[in-house]
Structures are given as C-alpha cells and as structure tokens.
Structure 1
C-alpha cells in the first residue's frame, strides 16, 4: 500500500472512533494520511471532547495529490458541507474514480457535492430521506459499496468498512509521477529480491499477468521476447510477474526460451501494492513503466495481452528513456 495518500476531513464535533480508527488502520498499512480541516480552527474537538489538529486545509490542497477521502461522521459533516473547498475536493475525487468513504452522517457531504445520484448509499438512518431526495438509493445495511463510494452506518461497522477500503486499494493502481510501490519477489533461482534491487535505476517495463496456464499467456508471453529485445536495445529492461510458483515459472521459461526474467509473487503483496489483484485472486494483465529514478510514468490494463497496441504505449515507451 506504499505511496498511497488519503485525506481525512475534520471539523468540530467529529465522531472520534470514525476518525481515529481509519487513520490508525491506514497508517498500519503504510498509507499516508492527512487530516484536512476547513480552516475555521487550528484545533477541533470531537463529540466527546477529544482534540484533533488539522495538518492542512481543504483550500490549500488538490485532489490530484491524493488517492481518496474518508469523511467521519458525528455533527462535523454539517459544518464540512458548508465549505466550497470541501465540496470541490469531493467532486473532483469522485470524477477521478478515487476512493470516497463516508460514515454515519458523512454522506450528507456527498449529497452537497451531488455525487449520490443513482448510487446505493447507507449512513445514519436520520439522513435516509436526504439521500433519497438527492437521487440516491438508501440501503439499510452496515456497509455499502457502489463504485468508488463506500459508506457505513456508524462506528460499529468500522471493521467491515476498513476491509472494503483496503480491498479498494488492492484493486486500484498507484498514482503516476510517484515512486513505485516497494515489494519483494522471487526469481527463478529461488532468490528473494526487493523490487528496487530488480529495477536498479534502469528504465523498466513491468508486466503483471494472471498465470502461465491461462490461454492468453501461452501466446503473449512468447511474443514478449520480441518486446523485451527492443526494450533492452534502448537500455531498459522488461520483466513479468505472476503468482505462479517459482518452479512452474522456471520450467516454462526454459521450455519456451524466454529471454526476459519471470518473478513470482506467491503472497500477492506486490500485486496488491500495484493495485492489479483481480477478483479471482490472481494478478490482472497490466503494464507499468518505471523511469530510471523509480517514478511511475505509465500504467494500463491489457486483458488481451496485446501490449504494443495499448493506448499511448509506444509514445510513453519512447519518453521513458528521456527522464
């Protein structure tokens, strides 16, 4: 989960558990959090008097620099929804397909941002009519997921809510123009290597794929020999990652005479960090480009395995060696 950044909105009379539980769980997963206030105060008090200090204000940040928002409940949302900068962040985050999580009365902020229309939403039963009147469908359930909007009814639902948040990030890619997520992989010589060791300050094209046994892989992985050769000639490297065992990969690479390295991520940790773990538990077919400084420059899903015909692939490959 490295390199993820989440805004947590805060105002007076916030619900303490709905702020601190997500904040600590996100930190535990290595996700950077930022307490974002409205600018009305340098210190906010929760419903039970517990203080929290904002680290920045909504008017001084942009949604492009974050991967999502969490909005705790309590009475704080009634204040938050009055500030245009808060509403703009919600609208932009929604439009960008990034995470929006809201608890208890938190969905009232989503109502003011006009993003609940046509969505399945839960929350405190007191705002049921507000959700319906704003064009949403109120679902009387502890936690509800509809696209990039995650909502929960209250603090008792935090464990399930946070599981859904983590699941969302395991299926969403890290932001471009940021360092790649660190992780560990095994090569076909049974050596455990960090991803930074593998890349070694070299422009890299990284392919994730589901399994050597899949029909797409049987052809696409062999075709990648030609792709790898052209990338090597430019001074870069090409490598592929799946959850197959090291022994299966080694046997296949030898049999098919692959000229590029295969790496095994049996635990799926690196696959999750790159946001390409599919619903079947395996990696999705996806391509990433990483420059010599370790910055992500391009990412795209390629379910057909046809990498070279992906939108913008050739242009980004040419640019990869100019950073």
Structure 2
C-alpha cells in the first residue's frame, strides 16, 4: 500500500509491541518509520504478566534503531501515527514537540493509534476529552482525569483514534487499525 506510518517509542519501550507493529505494517506493504527523542539504537524492554504479581514484570528486550528524531517529524509526510507502550511514554509525554506532533495529527484528521501506556501521550496532549479509550488497566485513572471514558474492550475506535490495551490485544487492535487505514 506504501502508506507511511510513524511509530513513536524510546528507551524502555515495549519490545514486542514495537517489533510486531513494524512487521505488521511491512506485511501490508507500508513503510514503518521509528521516531524517538534521539536518532540512535534504542533499548527496548519486554513486559509480562506473572502469576502472583500485582503488576507486570520487566525484562531486557531487543534493540532497534530510531530512523529519525521526534524533532525531525513532518506530520504531512505520514498517513498515521502509532504511540507504542512500555515505559517510554512515561517520559515521552513530557516531550513538548511530540505533544504538538500528536495534536497536529489530530488537527489534520489523520489516524492516531495508541496501545498500552502510549495512551498517556494522548492524555497529556489533551486529546482524551470526550473520547472512549482503552489502555493498560492502570492508565484508567489518567484517561478519566483527562476527560475521557475508559473502556474494558481490547481495542476501540473513537473518531480518528484507535486504542488498545496491551500487546495481548494485538489481534483486535490491528484488525481495527487496518480497517481504518483501508478507509483512506
């Protein structure tokens, strides 16, 4: 299809979510471009759910090179943006340029996809208000404080946004993502 999709992550980003996204877009003939705070090799991590733990555990994951910096992003070059999860959104949501990039995707009515903790960036950008969103369950409070409604669905579409809970939501999430992209 040759659509160009911007994937945003950084150190501490979820390894499986990132690599799965790159491969799924490539399988569809799309161009996946990784943007991060700096152009270098990123240290991704893996999160899993272990019996008896109150939260997820984290292990070292794969490394992946960023194609460009967030500061270099030109929104008009892309068909959609995907905000990936893991711990990276904890600090990426404080990146002023990234917040403006996400807002510009919204102003241009382009697709905005977010999964897991990536929704934290949407909330900080002020885009959760009056939206129905899903995310990792412990991001629920942030969604609600941002004026959104939390859904327990694995993936949900509201307007130009599709959100997913975790990497375990990939089948539902990407089914919705590719349904949206086919509407273009």
The TM-score, its normalising length taken from structure 2, stands at 0.89
Please give the alpha-carbon distance, in whole angstroms, between the structure 2 residues aligned to 1:99 and 1:22: 15
Equivalent residue number for residue 23 of structure 1: 22
**1:167, distance to aligned residue in structure 2 (A):** 0.6
Question: Which blocks of at least 5 consecutive residues in structure 2 are unaligned?
Answer: 46-59
Among 69, 89, 103, the alignment partner of 2:101 is: 89
TM-score (norm 1): 0.51
Q: Give the structure, 1 or 2, with the largest relative contact order (CA under 8 Å, sep 6 or more).
A: 2
Which residue pairs with 2:90 in the alignment? 78
1:132 is aligned to 144
Asked if the contact 2:9–2:85 (Cα under 8 Å) also holds between the matched residues in 1, the reply is: no
Unaligned ranges ≥5, structure 1: 173-323
1:35 maps to 34
Question: What is the match of residue 191 of structure 1?
Answer: none
Shift of 1:72: 1.2
Query: 2:126 aligned with 1:114, yes or no?
Result: yes
Query: Which of 42, 45, 60 is the equivalent residue of 1:44?
Result: 42
Match of 2:162 among 150, 153, 165: 150
Q: CA deviation at 1:68?
A: 0.9
Q: For residues 256-307 of structure 1, what are the alpha-carbon distances to aligned partners after superposition, in whole Å with 9 as ceiling and x for unaligned? A: xxxxxxxxxxxxxxxxxxxxxxxxxxxxxxxxxxxxxxxxxxxxxxxxxxxx
Is the 1:11–1:79 Cα contact (8 Å) retained in structure 2?
Answer: no
Structure of higher CA gyration radius: 1
* Secondary structure at 1:11 match in 2: coil
CA distance in 2, matches of 1:49, 1:158: 18
Q: Residue in 2 aligned with 1:99? A: 111
Matched, 1:14 2:13: yes
Cα offsets for 1:74-120 (capped at 9, x unmatched): 10111211111111110000111111111111100001110110000
